[in-house]
Amino acid sequence: MVDSRFSILSEEFAAAPDRYFAWLREHSPVHYEPAIDSYFLSRYRDVKQVLTDHEAFTTETLQVRAEPVMRGPVLAQMTGAEHTAKRKIVVRGFTGQALQNQVRAIRANATELVAPFLPRGRMDLVNDFGKPFAVRVTLEVLGLDKKGWRQVTDWLGGVGEFITSITLTDERRRHCMDRARQLETYLVPIIEQRRRHPGKDLISALCTAEFDGIAMSTRDVTALIINVLVAAVEPADKALGLLFKHLIDHPEQLAQVRRDPTLLPAAIAETLRFTPPVQLVPRQAEQDAVFAGTVVPAGATVFCVIGAANRDPEAFTAPDTFDIHRPDLGTARSFTAAAQHLAFGTGLHQCVGAAFARAEIETVAALLLPLLDRVRYSPGFRYRETGLYTRGPASLSLDFTPVHERVAGHG
Ligand code: 2IO
């Protein structure tokens, strides 16, 4: 039984949030945390309502939670005609022909990064592969120099920490702001140069695109590039690691995906439902609102607990079971506005990178699965997850048949 003084900020919750999801939904569906004066909603219908009703629950909280490190207003903060026009510009940069080209960059980077590990038969999927992969692909997609990926990783660490921390000391806050300013100083001259001499890359496209007479300023583009960098990097290694963890833990489903790679989108969608890499989505209540008989006062910060909503038995049958064949997920819809799971949020501000995320994880998994023959946890490996806001495996050390041995064996 969970104590009524239970806190989402406690070490117990951080160790295994999913153990508390049922209790939260049933006994504290509007969970107030006095230390941060915020409300946590965990029921599927309440979370869905908050994200859908963008006038009653605004994204104004991003002014303090994101804008300082984004160095400008992000898309998710905008509303009305400005939001519609700029969202179209961004969507165009991550779908259709642009996405086709991005898939080529995804495949090339994955092939290059996995190569040195194949003869060894061991790789940490999160730290050896996922993290450097996500940064390098994103830099390439943006037309930025991949050679600087370690530097960019360091700057992004500060930006990510600022956005995903529930509380920050003054010292950490200064550190994050410092990294964000350095990233801005690196980006602004590049953006100004592309504005003068546009190329075929995404930054040039963002600088020159226009909808209904609305275009992006350099400050908009800077914030958007930092937003794209952190949003494409922070959850990517987590989604990939979680997909492999669930498949390794469910060998019969892994065998099915190996036999029939067209099941991969279902496996990815179920991974996102079961363990969404982005666990919290913040909003601000515009007026008093009542959920499950509890008042959320006007002006309050509300956190949607995506992981708990995605495991609500009112939304999914046997929600605590990982099942790529579940009929109530609707794989085809899972990466669109009609998604049943809430891993990409929902409503007006639903993730603009959902199609990119799907293409990225699907391409990489389809490439890795045949290379990682007999994939399993390395001996002595202990699985551990970290993070409250974004959450995923701290590492995922995998053993597989070394590639030279396999070739010799077959020859
Ligand atoms: C600053 C948490 C990394 C996003 C926000 C507007 C970021 C926005 C998200 C995800 C992942 C981040 N929110 N992506 O939850 O762009």
Q: Is 235 in the pocket of ligand 1 (CB under 6 A)?
A: yes
List, for residues 261-305, the tens digit of each pLDDT value.
Answer: 999 999 999 999 999 999 999 999 999 999 999 999 999 999 999
Angstrom distance (rounded) from CA 242 to CA 247 = 9
Angstrom distance (rounded) from CA 1 to CA 177 = 41
3 in a domain, yes or no? Answer: no
* CB distance 244 to 375 below 8 Å: yes
In a 3-state reduction of DSSP, which class is residue 398?
Answer: strand
157 in a domain, yes or no? Answer: yes
Closest CA to 280 of 392, 157, 388, 161: 388
Residue 411: predicted pLDDT: 39
Q: How many domains does the chain have?
A: 1
Q: Atom 4 (ligand 1): residue with closest C-alpha?
A: 231
323 in a domain, yes or no? Answer: yes
Q: Is 230 in the pocket of ligand 1 (CB under 6 A)?
A: yes
User: 153 C-alpha to center of ligand 1: Å?
Assistant: 17
Q: Atom 11 (ligand 1): residue with closest C-alpha?
A: 231
6 in a domain, yes or no? Answer: no
Q: Atom 12 (ligand 1): residue with closest C-alpha?
A: 231
Residue 200: predicted pLDDT: 86
Angstrom distance (rounded) from CA 156 to CA 225 = 11
Angstrom distance (rounded) from CA 163 to CA 157 = 10
Q: Is 390 in the pocket of ligand 1 (CB under 6 A)?
A: yes
- Residues of the chain falling short of pLDDT 50: 409-411
* CB distance 168 to 388 below 8 Å: no
> Tell me, what CATH number does 374's domain have?
1.10.630.10
Residue 212: predicted pLDDT: 85
Angstrom distance (rounded) from CA 70 to CA 179 = 11
Residue 202: predicted pLDDT: 87
Residue 1: predicted pLDDT: 64
Tell which atom from ligand 1 comes closest to the C-alpha of 230.
Answer: 3
Angstrom distance (rounded) from CA 119 to CA 3 = 51
Residue 409: predicted pLDDT: 47
241 in a domain, yes or no? Answer: yes
Tell which atom from ligand 1 comes closest to the C-alpha of 75.
Answer: 6
Domain that holds residue 76: 11-410
Q: Is 77 in the pocket of ligand 1 (CB under 6 A)?
A: no
311 in a domain, yes or no? Answer: yes
Question: 89: which 2 tokens?
Answer: 């510009």
Q: Is 233 in the pocket of ligand 1 (CB under 6 A)?
A: no
Q: Is 234 in the pocket of ligand 1 (CB under 6 A)?
A: yes
Mean pLDDT of the residues in the chain: 95
